[in-house]
């Protein structure tokens, strides 16, 4: 049997790439896959996507972890409270350990040890026909990439971790400078032979930005748009099997889920807090807040009586429960659009160009006055909607399908088969 080797790091990567793994294994019974988690931040044990893949394909899929290779104890590393924090600090930063630098830095982590890990990954179960990463930049995984090349890997590609709903290039608070050393490093994909994204919007903006700097886009020869396999109908139908329904009894007239984005993604966090406070003036609406899946520094204050926080419930289950989905720049909103939930896009909460506003898809709110109007109307009648469904359809076709009528799972399979030949 041939083997593909995947390198992943976080929940978001798993959630977006697991569908590709599923369709690959379903399409080719002679394929097996190894998943290697190179991050120490994500406790993948019990992840619903991995549990499903294991149930479907058994020993054709293997899950490995950098921490295991370094002799770490996951029950301590991921333990909540003081004990977990102490163990985490010891493993990452103690001079005798330096596990934090296992991927990034040759000087603070013994290269021979990393080489041993990569060598065993490549050779213990048959040399992989293809090596695939989550979407990342070269400097974040430089140590891994160097060892893979040194061991004879000819072709390394990456798959999308999610659609870029923030389509602009200066999309983070970090990008407040055009200093070439920083800017080039943060957009360096040279370690990968191909970098796939969901659609062409970000690719075009990247080309424009680097053109203004007198340089070619770093993805000019590497970037390829495949569509979003995470939000394609074939996977959403399967995804329903992966989680339990969210049940929250309420006598309120409407149910709303509010998806948080990261503060450092050019978010006006004080305005987010004002918006949450504002929701308290509509007691007839039951509100659930879903924090972002990756840790971030924005803190929520005391919540009004009609609101609660659900960090452990799958976003898909919250979308199924809700009548209204409110957001500003998270790709999970695409699932709400597909499932015909009422989309409230709070365009006034960040300084990015958002794909939803580009297409005027859904109810686009430019200020708190607009939010006041939307909540007032929906509190009375959930069918009182001012937006055009055609705009939503156009946006979904452009982002999820990448403006192509080809089936998305087959597009992913064909892309990886082509890259396998080059490997």
Q: What pLDDT, in 10s, does the model give residues 338-353? A: 999 999 999 999 999 9
Where helices occur in 28-105 by DSSP H, the ranges are 48-57, 66-69, 74-77, 82-93
Predicted local confidence at residue 304, as pLDDT: 81
- Chain centroid offset of residue 182 CA: 23
Q: What does the alpha-carbon distance between residue 330 and residue 162 come to, in Å, rounded to a whole number?
A: 9
Q: What does 181-246 look like in DSSP terms, one character per residue? A: HHHHHHT--TT-SEEEES-SHHHHHHHHHHHHTTS--TTTTTEEE---STTSHHHHHHHGGGSPPP
Q: How far is residue 81 from each of residues 76, 78, 85, 86, 244, measured CA to CA in Å?
A: 10, 9, 7, 9, 28
Neighbour tally for 57: CB within 10 Å: 18
pLDDT digits over 230-270, tens only? Answer: 999 999 999 999 999 999 988 888 999 999 998 899 999 99
Reported as a pLDDT band with limits 50, 70 and 90, residue 107 is: very low
Whether 105 shows a pLDDT value over 80: the answer reads no
Residue with tokens 């049940």: 247
**Predicted local distance difference test score (pLDDT) of residue 372:** 98
Give, in order, the Cα–Cα distances in Å from 333 to each of 139, 202, 317, 362, 376. 30, 18, 13, 11, 22
Distances (CA, A) of 296 to 111, 263, 355, 398, 411: 31, 7, 23, 30, 34
Those residues with Cβ within 8 angstroms of residue 132's Cβ, 6 or more apart along the chain or in another chain:
4, 5, 6, 7, 156, 157, 158, 159, 416
Let me know: does 350 contact 328? Beta carbons within 8 Å. yes
The pLDDT value recorded for residue 410 is: 97
Q: In what order do the strands lie in the sheet with 61-65?
A: 61-65, 31-37, 2-8, 130-134, 156-159, 194-197, 223-225
Coil/strand/helix, residue 64: strand
Look at the domain 246-399 and name its fold. Rossmann fold (3.40.50)
- Mean pLDDT score across all residues of the chain: 92
* For the chain, percent of residues with pLDDT exceeding 90: 81
Q: Are 131 and 7 in contact (CB under 8 A)?
A: yes
Whole-model pTM? 0.92
Q: Classify domain 2-232+405-422 by CATH number.
A: 3.40.50
Token look-up 């972890």 returns: 65
pLDDT at 102 > cutoff 60: no
Residues carrying CATH 3.40.50.2000, the chain: 246-399
Task: Please tell me the predicted confidence (pLDDT) of residue 96.
Answer: 61
**279: which 2 tokens?**
């929701």
Tokens 């003081």 sit on residue? 82
């Amino acid at each position: 049997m041939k083997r593909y080797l995947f390198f992943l790091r976080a929940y978001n990567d798993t959630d977006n790439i697991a569908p590709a793994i599923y369709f690959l294994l379903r399409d080719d019974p002679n394929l097996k896959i190894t998943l290697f988690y190179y991050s120490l931040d994500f406790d993948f044990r019990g992840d619903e996507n991995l549990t499903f893949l294991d149930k479907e394909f058994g020993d054709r899929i293997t899950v490995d972890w950098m921490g295991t290779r370094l002799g770490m104890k996951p029950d301590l590393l991921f333990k909540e409270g003081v004990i977990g924090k102490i163990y985490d600090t010891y493993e990452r930063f103690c001079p005798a350990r330096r596990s934090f630098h296992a991927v990034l830095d040759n000087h603070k982590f013994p290269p021979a040890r990393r080489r041993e890990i990569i060598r065993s990954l490549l050779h213990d179960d048959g040399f992989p026909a293809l090596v695939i990463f989550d979407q990342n930049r070269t400097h974040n995984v430089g140590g891994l990439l160097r060892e893979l090349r040194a061991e004879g890997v000819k072709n390394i590609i990456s798959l999308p971790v999610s659609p870029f709903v923030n389509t602009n290039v200066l999309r983070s608070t970090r990008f407040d400078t055009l200093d070439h050393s920083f800017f080039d490093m943060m957009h360096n994909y040279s370690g990968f032979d191909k970098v796939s994204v969901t659609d062409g919007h970000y690719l075009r903006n990247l080309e424009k930005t680097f053109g203004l700097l007198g340089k070619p886009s770093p993805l000019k020869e590497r970037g390829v748009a495949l569509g979003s396999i995470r939000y394609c109908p074939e996977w959403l139908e399967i995804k329903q099997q992966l989680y339990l329904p969210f049940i929250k009894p309420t006598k309120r007239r409407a149910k709303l889920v509010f998806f948080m984005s990261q503060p450092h993604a050019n978010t006006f966090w004080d305005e987010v807090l004002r918006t949450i406070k504002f929701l308290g003036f509509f007691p007839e609406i039951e509100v659930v807040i879903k924090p972002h899946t990756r840790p971030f520094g924005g803190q929520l204050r005391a919540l009004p009586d009609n609101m609660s926080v659900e960090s452990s419930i799958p976003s898909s289950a919250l979308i199924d429960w809700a009548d209204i989905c409110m957001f500003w720049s998270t790709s999970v909103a695409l699932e709400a659009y597909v499932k015909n939930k009422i989309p409230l896009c709070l365009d006034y909460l960040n300084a990015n160009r958002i794909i939803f506003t580009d297409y005027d898809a859904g109810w686009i709110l430019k200020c708190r006055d607009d939010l006041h109007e939307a909540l007032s109307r929906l509190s009375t009648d959930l069918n009182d909607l001012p937006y055009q469904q055609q705009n939503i359809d156009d946006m979904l076709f452009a982002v999820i399908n990448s403006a192509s009528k080809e089936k998305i799972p087959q597009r992913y399979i064909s892309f990886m088969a082509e890259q396998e030949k080059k490997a």
